[in-house]
Amino acid sequence: METKVFNKDEVAQAAALIKAGEVVAFPTETVYGLGADATDPKAAEKVFQAKHRPADNPLIVTVAGPDMVAQFATITPAAKKLMDAFWPGPLTIILNILPGKLSMVVTGGLQTAAFRMPANSLTRQMISLAGRPIVGPSANISGKPSGTRPEHVLHDFDGAIAGILDDGPTTVGVESTVIDMTVTPPAILRPGKITPKLLAPVIGEVQSDHHKVGAKETPKAPGMKYKHYAPSAQVVIVDHPADFPAALKWAEQNGQPFGVLATDDLLTDVPSAVPTYSLGRDLTSATHNLFAGLRWFDLHPTVTVILAEAFAQEGLGVAYMNRLNKSAGNDHFDPDQH
């Protein structure tokens, strides 16, 4: 199939494809998503197939606004507060669903579903025009870094999906915060730009211990059970800038071709023959560039090791390190052992 690229003047064509049960990739402020009619199990099924996604990993229901959520789930007063404070924006809210309103294909058989109203106005326009919510997992082959640019989406899905709504690179760079409002206190299942510190003034304390899903349960958020965000090369995290000289030495002696994924300050000390990808200047740019960088190294298959810069686990740093740790399978450079 030909994958059509739609620009901002062609949203109606993208919406028509959604209505026809086809898969259309869409931009959000976090990462691109793979959209399909959430009320049509056959359409949602196509998304699982395109992504090679395990069937027990539930999909996000992406809406144009809270009204759309009310058709499918119970909006508790606390959930309403979150919507008022953070929507549209990078917060996905898990709610109890109204029985029979959403297909098992979407919910993975759970009595809950995840709802998200993205900040991207083109996407909200597409959903409004289609007149129904769309499922919206990140636009990447399952296990690979999420797509943050239209070219990433085409790399993974050209010829496999009907279209892509192109709005250039995303801004945040990592997926939305996922909060489960069906438990007390509410639990953060996946860290993102909306941090516990931002949530607390609105709904009080939240649990942010998101590591408790066993391999046999239906995962509460991705990456809890499945390998995630992994490029072909092994990512090795360098915890402190001061460790970089030792890490570079180790990588050179190791003999395997390696690359470096770090901010500009650190890259100035890397020998020019070593392939590098810049994370920009700071944590915000690093988060924005992380998945693009991991994907860039996949296009340079001579590299088998990627030394990657860590950030402190505070604020957005929690989300950055969550994704980086997963991409590395938690492999950290240990200056004492190398």
Interface with Mg ion, residue 276, by CB under 5 A: no
Smallest distance, ligand TXA to C-beta of residue 181, A:
10
Q: Which residues pair with 47 in a beta bridge?
A: none
Smallest distance, Mg ion to C-beta of residue 209, A:
21
Closest of 117, 153, 114 to residue 25, by C-alpha: 153
> Count of H helices and E strands in the chain?
12, 14
Interface with Mg ion, residue 123, by CB under 5 A: no
Q: How far is CA 293 from CA 25, 31, 110, 222, 320, in A?
A: 21, 14, 35, 21, 13
Q: Residue 319 carries which side chain, given as an amino acid letter?
A: A
Indicate which of Mg ion, ligand TXA, none lies near residue 58 (CB less than 5 to 8 Å, by partner kind).
ligand TXA
Q: Where are the alpha helices (DSSP H) in the chain?
A: 11-19, 41-51, 66-70, 77-86, 104-107, 121-130, 150-157, 196-203, 244-254, 264-267, 283-298, 316-327
Alpha-carbon gap, residue 55 to 35, rounded angstroms: 16
Interface with ligand TXA, residue 175, by CB under 6 A: yes
Please say whether the beta carbons of 277 and 296 come within 8 A: yes
Question: Is the Cβ of residue 92 or residue 276 nearer to ligand TXA in the bound state?
Answer: 92
Q: Which residues are annotated as a binding site for L-threonine?
A: 30, 116, 176
Question: Is the Cβ of residue 113 or residue 324 nearer to ligand TXA in the bound state?
Answer: 113
Q: Which residues are annotated as a binding site?
A: 30, 53, 57, 112, 116, 138, 146, 176, 190, 229
Smallest distance, Mg ion to C-beta of residue 48, A:
12
> Contact letters (x/-) for ligand TXA, 91-130, by CB under 6 A?
-x-x---------------x-xxx-x-x------------
In a 3-state reduction of DSSP, which class is residue 320? helix
Interface with ligand TXA, residue 88, by CB under 6 A: no
Alpha-carbon gap, residue 304 to 48, rounded angstroms: 29
Restricting to residues 32-61, name those near ligand TXA by CB under 6 A.
33, 57-60
> Contact letters (x/-) for Mg ion, 129-158, by CB under 5 A?
---------x--------------------
For the CA atoms of 207, 208, 213, 218, the dihedral, rounded to the nearest 10 degrees, stands at 80
Question: Is the Cβ of residue 222 or residue 231 nearer to ligand TXA in the bound state?
Answer: 222
Alpha-carbon gap, residue 279 to 275, rounded angstroms: 13
Question: Is the Cβ of residue 173 or residue 259 nearer to Mg ion in the bound state?
Answer: 173
Indicate which of Mg ion, ligand TXA, none lies near residue 110 (CB less than 5 to 8 Å, by partner kind).
ligand TXA
Smallest distance, Mg ion to C-beta of residue 137, A:
5
* Binding region for Mg ion (CB under 5 A): 138, 222
* Binding region for ligand TXA (CB under 6 A): 28, 30-31, 33, 57-60, 90, 92, 94, 110, 112-114, 116, 118, 136-138, 175-176, 178, 189, 219-222
